[in-house]
Amino acid sequence: MNRKKFTDRLFGILARASAAVTFTALASIVVYILANGIPNLTPSLFSIKYTSENVSLFPSLVTTAIMIVISLAASVPLGVFAAVYLVEYAGGGDKLTKIVGLTAETLSGIPSVVYGLFGMIFFVTRLGWGFSVVAGSVKKSMMILPLIMRAAEESIRSVPPEYREGSFGLGAGRLRTVFRVILPSSAPGILAGVILAIGRVAGETAALIYTSGTVPRIPSGAFSSARTLAVHMYALSSEGFHTGQAYATAVVLLVLVFGVNALSALAAKKLTKVS
């Protein structure tokens, strides 16, 4: 066996081993959570009202869904249209595009607790919103906006230029080409970014403690304090009195994220067939 074949085989073995270790670690975590959480999934855990006896997760589940909807409604249009401008209108290689790209990458790497401190200082204190759902949602929108924008930008760049040329050749303008050709073709990649954003919104704890608070109740309005599933799980585990219920909350959070991923994958598949 020559050196090149030996090197290729070695890297192939290392790649398979890395994939096996990653899958094993992920599967172990999921199995451990399910084994400890499923036995604690009782009807009282889904009571409408939270008490210190039932430690219901239902108010946190409702709050999580509300925050996901608000955060995506604010960040997805901004992120997608910003990506469209950078790729289709700004030329893709000018100074503005490079600055925006560098800024988005920098914002993506900022720790979530820094976002939380900024949200507490600006939204909670300066604007007077208090610990509220709207403060947490706006802050989450700021966190996931760079992620969605970069995912949409890369997906739009991957659309073959022949699609644009064919649309222009048929007499379509740039705006019509963007909405009828570019966005449908890049929808799967955009949805992938949205899935990652949903996971970050659902799994965030530190930043939401500083902005939305930890009140375990269904929010009565936009400026009501509430806690998400991740914050609820953190609160139960840190108290140490309801560890089993904390694992049960983790199971519900896993099911929520996997369900959203499955629906998004199905939507992406249908959009791909249509386009």
User: Per-residue DSSP letters for 124-145?
Assistant: IIIS---S-HHHHHHHHHHHHH
Backbone angles phi, psi at 5, to 5 degrees: -65, -40
**pLDDT for the residue numbered 24:** 94
**pLDDT for the residue numbered 1:** 57
Residue whose entry in the numeric block shows the structure tokens 């192939």: 12
Nearest C-alpha neighbor of 89 from the set 144, 158, 156:
156
As a whole number of angstroms, the distance between CA 45 and CA 51 comes to: 10
**pLDDT for the residue numbered 98:** 77
**pLDDT for the residue numbered 163:** 83
**pLDDT for the residue numbered 4:** 74
**pLDDT for the residue numbered 28:** 93
As a whole number of angstroms, the distance between CA 139 and CA 161 comes to: 36
**pLDDT for the residue numbered 6:** 74
How many C-beta atoms surround the C-beta of residue 115 within 10 A? 21
Enter the tokens of residue 223: 């400026």
Ranges of residues in the chain with a pLDDT under 50 are none
Domain 41-274 has CATH 1.10.3720.10: yes
Per domain, the residue ranges of the chain are: 41-274
pTM of the model: 0.83
Report whether 151 contacts 186 (CB < 8 A).
no
How far apart, in Å, are the Cα atoms of 268 and each of 48, 183, 261?
A: 34, 12, 10
**pLDDT for the residue numbered 31:** 92
